[in-house]
Amino acid sequence: MKNSHKFLLFLILLIPSAAFAQRAEAFQQSRKWYLPDHLKLQFAGGIGFLSGGPGYLSKNETLETDVLFGFLPQKFGGDALITITGKTTYSPWRIPLRRESYYVAPFSLGFYLSYTFGPQFDTKWPAYYPKGYYWWATTFRPAAYIGGKLGKNFIVKDRKRGFEFYYELGTYDLMLISYVQNRGYLDVSDIVNLSLGVKYGF
Amino acid sequence: MKKYISLALSCLATLTLSCDSFILYNPNEINLDRDERNLSEMNIKKIQAIPLRDTLKFILMGDTQRWYDESADFVKSANSQKDIAFVLHAGDISDFGINQEFKWVNEIMVKLNSPYLTVIGNHDIVANGPISYRKMYGSLDYSFDYGNHRFVFINTNSREYAFDGTVPNLSWLKSQLSNNPENKNIIVIGHVPPFDGDFDKKLEKDFSDLLGSNPNVKMSLYGHKHSFNNGEFYNDGVHYYVTTSMGARGYWVVRVWKDGYYLEKIEF
């Protein structure tokens, strides 16, 4: 479990610098600064059958940073896997729809770093391997994605709330390198995966 | 609320089934189609149904790991060889031990005109690789008889088990070599050759002695080194052949008959 502690520390160090500072002003009247702005629930995307967790939104509402806890039951994955993921999504444009409370964010770009638990996965390879024998860690998986979302704002108990549906098309490091070196056999579609999610902002 | 949840779940299920290849739960998941399971057993049956000839001709290749373009070229080259009964993959099917890689390699190898068999490589043991291998191919150690020959496939990737003395499984190998009432020629196939640093040094002598002391063992086949190599390294009558990687675009064509064998190096 030593590795998991390291990862938690990493997340704690990573998140605040990006998200907390920007949003402090906007929410200081209504809420404590450390409380999350939203919750997400996601299907697939390489970080679990379902994953969910809290996240923060920048003041200008373009940058989301999330921590997602994912689970994959053995029935769907051949092995039961628990994954924790730090994720940042940038959605530069927000277009209001005719009914004013609805909007579309047509383009998102994001990255995530996931950590999958299990004794069969390594962060630092054991000493019985020569240095650099395997160059990648099997616990951590960096990935990138593009996507879009559809949202609706509404008021509950005098407070602005929001609901969003999003999709993401992404790939991870090991697939990307496989594709780059095998442009003949592999197509982009071979390495891309689809995820769907919902967000509730409060 | 219940209605919406069940609706959402059935939507997810439909989506999962309809665009299976676009859904990834985890890179380490094992997700196989029906025709991607128990391939060793299935292909052994196919091989044993092939009519016997005086000379058996097969291919020894290996290390497809992250060389899909080259592996596809290999299949073209192999299919241009005449009378190949089967292809032996000397391990490192995958590079990262990821199920998707095993599936891609199988997708390429099923385009061969003949069945193929594999032995597990060190890269196939990384992460959830062993789960993928077991489900897709079968046992890590296995053997089959065809004509005058017995083929023994053994996991020789000792480093992956921290050189704990269990790999290769010598007692299993001994049973495969000794229980031979029909006096068949025996060919042992592994990924890591016994003279390589990734093979357990404590087991090297016992392993090579098992082969060398058995009059029915004339040759033994390996991969791992990413270059061709061959020789009678222990001066005991057993000739060791190492095939190169797909990245280096080469393989052996092997001919065996009752009293002899002949190997030819092919580059593609």
Measured between beta carbons, the chain B residues lying within 8 angstroms of A79 are 28-30, 128, 131
CB contacts < 8 A, A to B, total: 108
pLDDT digits (tens, 9 = 90+) for A46-76: 999 999 999 999 999 999 999 999 999 999 9
Pick from B19, B89, B32, B23: which is nearest to B61 by CA?
A: B89
Residue B150 predicted with pLDDT over 80: yes
Whether A39 contacts chain B with CB within 8 A: no
pLDDT tens, B66-85? 999 999 999 999 999 999 99
Residues of B in contact with A81 (CB under 8 A): 25-26, 28-29
Task: Please name the residue of chain B whose CA is at the shortest distance from the CA of residue A82.
Answer: B26
* Assembly ipTM: 0.90
B131 touches chain A (CB under 8 A): yes
Q: Contact at 8 Å (CB) between B212 and B238?
A: yes
Give the total number of structural domains in chain A. 1
Contacts of B131 in chain A (CB under 8 A): 78-79
B128 contact residues in A (CB cutoff 8 A): 78-79, 120
Range of the domain at A88: 2-201
* Domains identified in chain B and CATH numbers: 37-267 (3.60.21.10)
Distance of CA B59 to the CA centre of its chain: 12
- B76, B149 Cβ separation under 8 angstroms: no
Q: Which two tokens stand for residue B224?
A: 């791992």
Q: Which helix (H) or strand (E) holds B222?
A: strand B217-222
pLDDT at A98: 84
For chain B, the residue count is 268
Whether chain B has a CB inside 8 Å of the CB on A181: the answer is yes
User: Cβ of B102 under 8 Å from any chain A Cβ?
Assistant: no
Task: State the DSSP code for A73.
Answer: -
Q: Given a cut of 80, is residue B99 above it in pLDDT?
A: yes
A54 sits in which H/E element: strand A50-57
pLDDT digits (tens, 9 = 90+) for B166-218: 999 999 999 999 999 999 999 999 999 999 999 999 999 999 999 999 999 99
Q: In the prediction, which pLDDT does B15 show? A: 60
How many alpha carbons fall within 13 Å on the CB side of residue B111? Answer: 15
For the segment B235-265, what is each residue's pLDDT rounded down to a tens digit? 999 999 999 999 999 999 999 999 999 999 9
Q: How many CA atoms lie within 13 A of B58 on its CB side?
A: 25
Q: Do A128 and B95 touch (CB under 8 A)?
A: no
The pLDDT value given to residue A3: 47
- A70 contact residues in B (CB cutoff 8 A): 26
List of chain B residues whose C-beta atoms are within 8 Å of the C-beta of residue A46:
24-27
Interface contact flag, A83 B26, Cβ < 8 Å = yes
Instruction: Give me chain A's average pLDDT, please.
Output: 89
Check CB contact under 8 Å for A178 and B68: yes
- For chain B, percent of residues with pLDDT exceeding 70: 93
Average pLDDT over residues B104-133: 98
Q: How many residues does chain A have?
A: 202
What is the pLDDT at residue B69?
98
Instruction: Choose the closest CB to B66 out of A77, A118, A178.
Output: A178
pLDDT band at B12 (very low <50, low <70, confident <90, very high): low
Mutate to test the interface with B, among A139, A178, A179, A188 (most CBs of B within 10 A): A178
Q: Which residues of B touch A52 (CB under 8 A)?
A: none
pLDDT of res. A9: 47
**pLDDT band, very low/low/confident/very high, at B86 (cuts 50, 70, 90):** very high
Q: Is B69–A174 a contact, with Cβ atoms under 8 angstroms apart? A: no
Rounded CA-CA distance B56/B1 in Å is 66
Mutate to test the interface with B, among A72, A85, A121, A134 (most CBs of B within 10 A): A134
Mean of pLDDT values over A85-89: 98
* CATH number for the domain that contains residue A64: 2.40.160
Which of A145-159, B76-90, B158-172 is predicted with the least confidence, judged by mean pLDDT?
Answer: A145-159
Does B8 touch chain A if contact means CB atoms closer than 8 Å?
no
